[in-house]
Homo-oligomer: A and B are copies of this chain.
Amino acid sequence: MIFAKTPEPPYWAVIFTNQHSDDTAGYAAMAQTMEDLVAKQPGFLGAESVRTDDGSGITVSYWQNEADVLAWKAVAAHLIAQRLGKERWYKGYVTRVAQVTRDYAHGVALESE
């Protein structure tokens, strides 16, 4: 696990829980492109991601403000990725937008500690 070095709360989290479909053609390249692109977005604080061999995945990205979350959602290249994700790569997913109010860490150095 590569932990995100988030700042003192409050900040925002986008919790993306998903199940891949059987059609993963093009997914890896798009995921890498999105990873590179999101890192340049204003307010992006980091992300944590886990996927199992059976295609269950959870990715949580962290953001300074809610406006930063909305701006990333509307980036043109990301809109294409979202569309392909919906039509092709994911059998199902839920995206939840949340405001982090408290955090606790052990054995991980956050910026808040």
Residues of A within 8 A of B (CB): 1, 3-4, 6, 9, 13, 15, 17-19, 48-53, 55-58, 60, 66, 86, 90-108, 110
Inter-chain contact A98/B95, CB cutoff 8 Å: no
Instruction: State the number of copies, please.
Output: 2
CB distance from A65 to the nearest CB of B (A): 13
Given known contacts A1-B56, A57-B1, is B95 in contact with A107 (CB within 8 Å)?
A: no
Contact partner, A102, options B17, B55, B96, Cβ 8 Å: B96
CB distance from A59 to the nearest CB of B (A): 8
State the CA gap A97–B67 with chains docked (Å).
20
Inter-chain contact B50/A92, CB cutoff 8 Å: no
